[in-house]
Amino acid sequence: MIATATIATATITTATIATATIFGMTIPTYTLMHVLVSLIGIVSGFVVMYGLLSGKRLDRWTALFLTSTVATSVTGFGFPFTHLSPAHKVGIVSLAVLTIAIVARHAYHLEGGWRRTYVVCAAMALYLNVFVLVVQSFEKAPALRALAPTQKEPPFLVTQLVILALFIVLTIVAAKRFTSQPTGAARPVSRAA
C-alpha cells in the first residue's frame, strides 16, 4: 500500500495537506513513514524469500518482514479517504494473508500443512507489496507515467504479468524446498539475521 496518499477528494488544497495531520504527523511526513515501512517490508521480504528457497527460517528477518508488512497495510488506512479504493482492497487482502501466515508460523509452528500455508501466504504478502510498488512507480515516476498514464497500457500490464509469473514460480519452488526439509533442517538461523 505504498503511498496510498492519493488524497480522496480534490477539494483538499496544498495548504491543507501541509497542515493536516494523521496520528500527529503531517501528511507528507506520514507518507514518508508509510513508504519507508513499505520498502523495509519489501527488502526484508526478499531476504525471507531467499530463506524459504534455501530451506531456512531466518527468524529475525521474518519478524521484520511480517511486522513491517502488517504496518504497511495498517498505515495505508490512515490516509484520508471517502470510499473504499483498490488500494484499500489490496490492504485488506494483505492483512488477511498476513494473519494466516502469522498463525501458521506462531500458533501452529509450521507443523504439517501449515509450513506450505505459511510459504504461500508470506509470498503472497510480498507479492502484494511489490504489486503496489509497481502501481505507485507507474503513477509517480514521470518516465513510467508517460509509458502508461492510465495504467491500462501494455508496459504496465506486461510488467505486472511478469512480476506475477515470477512470484508464482518463486512460491512453487519455495513451497517445495521449505516444506520438503525435515523440521530440524528449517531451524532458526540466528546469525543470518
For the stretch 139-178, pLDDT in tens is: 999 999 999 999 999 999 999 999 999 999 999 999 999 9
Per the domain annotation, does 97 fall within a domain?
yes
Mean pLDDT of the chain: 87
* Whether pLDDT at 134 is above 80: yes
Mean of pLDDT values over 32-52: 97
Domain span including residue 38? 23-184
Per the domain annotation, does 70 fall within a domain?
yes
* Whether pLDDT at 3 is above 70: no
pLDDT for 181: 55
Mean of pLDDT values over 186-190: 49
Per the domain annotation, does 2 fall within a domain?
no
User: pLDDT band at 13, cuts 50/70/90?
Assistant: low
DSSP string spanning 10-75? TT--HHHHHH-EETTEEHHHHHHHHHHHHHHHHHHHHHHHHHHHTT---HHHHHHHHHHHHHHHHH
Burial 112-123 (b: 16+ CB within 10 A, else e): eebbbbbbbbbb
Cα(45)–Cα(73) distance, rounded to whole angstroms? 14
pLDDT for 20: 81
Identity of the residue numbered 167: F
* Whether pLDDT at 108 is above 70: yes
Number of domains making up the chain: 1
Per the domain annotation, does 96 fall within a domain?
yes
Cα(47)–Cα(158) distance, rounded to whole angstroms? 25
Per the domain annotation, does 190 fall within a domain?
no
For the stretch 56-95, pLDDT in tens is: 989 999 999 999 999 999 999 998 888 888 889 999 999 9
Per the domain annotation, does 14 fall within a domain?
no
Per the domain annotation, does 8 fall within a domain?
no
